[in-house]
Amino acid sequence: MTRASIPPLDCTSLQAQLAALPGLARLRALSAGFAEASDETIAAILDSAASFAADRLEALNAQSDSAAPQLADGAVVTSELHRDVWREYAEGGWIALDLPEQLGGQGLPLVVAVAVQEVFDRHCAAFGMLPVPVRSAVRLIEAWTTDDTIRAEWLPKLVAGEWGATICISEVGAGSDASRIRTKAVPRSDGRWSITGEKQWISFGGHDLTDRIVHCLLARTEGAKGLSLFLVPDRIDGAANGVIVRKLEHKLGLHLSPTCAMGFEDATGHLLGEEGRGLAQMFVMITNMRMAVGAMGLGIASAAADVALAYARQRLQGGAGPQPSPIIDHADVQRMLLSMQAGVESSRALIYVAAVEADLARTETDDEARRNSAALAQWLLPIVKTLGGELAFTTADSAIQVLGGAGYTTDWPVEQLLRDSRVLPIFEGTTGMQGLDLLHRRLWKDGGEGLRVFLGRARADIARLAGRDAAAATEIIDLLETIAGQLGRMRDAPRDAEAGATGLLHLAIDAALAWSAARLAALDDDTPAAARLRALGGFQLGELTGRARHHAAEALRGAAALEGIATLL
C-alpha cells in the first residue's frame, strides 16, 4: 500500500482566525509594510503556501525515512529532491516573509510567517528545521553586528536562502547548563578569532542545500566572565575553515534534518557584540526559535487531527443498523476528534496573538502600549513553546488511537508525526526549563508584569461571554492568578516553588488556552468557519476546567512531595 497523504490544508480557518485577531489592525496602522498585509494578501499567501506544501513538501516528506541525509567523506549529502525543494522554497521568497525590506525581505508581520510555517511544517517538519535558524540568524546579526562588511555580505545571502545557519550552544557536557561550555576563542592579530571545541545536537550543521553555512556559536574567551558569541563560517574564500562534521545522530524522527556532532579546529570566527555577553545576545535567536517550535507543533498537530478526521469519516465499523457505520458516529471517537480540533484551533489563536504582540513590542509608538506588548510577549513565550511541543505529540498520539492498528503502521503518516514531534518538548529548552523560566524570570525577576497584562486582556475578552463558557474561563483565569500569587511569594523557599514550576507552566497554558477558547466562543460572524470555531472554543473550555484544577494542585505540592527520591538514590 502507498502511504496515505496528509490532506491538503483548507486555509479558511486560518484566515478566519487572522481576520479576528486582536492587534493586527494596530500593526497595519504602524507600518506601511504591515499595511500591505491585507486580508486578501494574506489569504493569497496562505493558499500559495498550502499548494507548495501539498505538492512539494508532501513528496519530500514521503521519503523522509528512506532518503535521509548521509555523511560521506566528511560531507553531509542530501537527496536530489531535497535540494530541488530547497531551491524552489528559497526562490519563492518564503524565508524572507517577515524580514526587513532593506535586507531583501518582504517586511510582513511575524504572524504571517508563523502561519506559513505552520502550513509548511504540517507536511514536512524536518524541512522546516533549516529555515528557522536562518531567519533567526538574520535577526541576530542585524541586532548585534556593527561590521558593515559582514552586514553587506552575509545578510542578503541568508535572506535569499543561498547560505544556511545554525545555532551552536550545546556540548557533550553542556546542555541546558551553558555555564559548562568549554569551546574556546583566542584573538588573532587581524581582529578575528580562533575557535576550538566540540558542539552537539546541531541541526543542519552540515549539508549541501546552500553554498555556505554560518554557525552562530557560544565560546569562552580568556578574562571574560561570561560566554561570547561568534559567527563562524564553514568556508572562507572557498576553502575549509576548520569546521568538521564528526557524525550524524541516529534518532527517532525528523530524519530529513541532519543532526550533527561538530568539531571546530582552529576555525576562524568573528566576534558578535561584546565579549562576555554572548548568551544574552543569543536570546534574540533563541526567542525566534522558541516561537518557531510553537508553530511547528501546531503544524504537526493540525496534520494529525485532519488525518484522523478524514479516516473517521470513511472507516466503517460497528453501529446499530445492519450496515456498519462510519466510526465518526461513535461517541468516543467524536470526543477524540473534537478534542484534537479544539486543541489545534485554541492553540492557533494563542500563537497568532503571541506573534502579533512580539511585533507590537518592536513597533508600537505608544510607550505604555509597547511596554505592555513586550511584557505579554515575554509571558507567552515559554507557554507557546511548551504548548506547541506537547500539543503535537498528544494530538499525534490521539490520531493513532482513532486509526487503531492502521495508525500504528507506516501505511499512514500519523506514526511519523508522533516520532517527529517527540523532540519538540526537548529542544530549545525542555518543558522543565520553561517552567523554571516562567517562575524565575517572569514571576520573580520581572515581578509578574507579563502576568498582569495577560490577566487584564483575558478578563476583558471573557466578559463578552455568558453562561457556562464564561464561568469555566473565569475559574481558570482566577486559578492562575491565585497560584501564581502564592508561588510569587515563595522566593525564600525556592525548592518548594521549583517543585511546582512545571505545574505552574501547565496551569499558565490552561489559562492561555481558556483565553483563546473564550475569544473563539465569542465570535459573532455568521460564516460556517466562525460557527465551527465557536463550537470548538466551547468544547475546549469544557475540557480545560478539570485539567486546570489538577495543574493548580500540582503547582503547590512543594518539595515535600519529592522526598521519596531518597529511595531511588
Provide the annotated active-site residues.
Answer: 428
Is residue 226 a contact partner of residue 279, using CB atoms and an 8 Å limit?
yes
Is residue 486 a contact partner of residue 556, using CB atoms and an 8 Å limit?
yes
d(CA 363, CA 380): 18
Q: How far is CA 94 from CA 166, 208, 512, 560, in A?
A: 18, 19, 29, 51
Report the half-sphere exposure of 384 (CA within 13 A, side-chain side).
29
Provide the grid cell at 485.
500569587
Is residue 477 a contact partner of residue 515, using CB atoms and an 8 Å limit?
yes
d(CA 500, CA 474): 22
Is residue 45 a contact partner of residue 112, using CB atoms and an 8 Å limit?
yes
CA nearest 304: which of 106, 7, 3?
7
Sign of the Cα torsion 357, 39, 98, 130 reads: positive
Q: What is the 3-state secondary structure (H, E, C) of 58-72?
A: HHHHHCCCCCCCEEE
- Ramachandran region of residue 204, left (φ > 0), alpha (ψ -120 to 50) or beta? left
Residue type at 70 in one-letter notation: Q
d(CA 164, CA 260): 14
Q: Which residues contact 315 (CB under 8 A, 6 or more apart)?
A: 326, 327, 403
Largest distance between two CA atoms of the chain: 86
Burial 321-360 (b: 16+ CB within 10 A, else e): eeeeebbbbeeebeebbbbbbbbbbbbbbbbbbbbbbbbb
Cα 283 from chain centre? 15
Residue type at 241 in one-letter notation: N
Q: What is the 3-state secondary structure (H, E, C) of 214-267?
A: EEEEEEEECCCCCCEEEEEECEECCEECCEEEEEECCCCCCCCCCEEEEEEEEE
Sign of the Cα torsion 428, 433, 435, 438 reads: negative
Backbone φ and ψ of 259, nearest 5°: -100, 115
d(CA 305, CA 38): 29
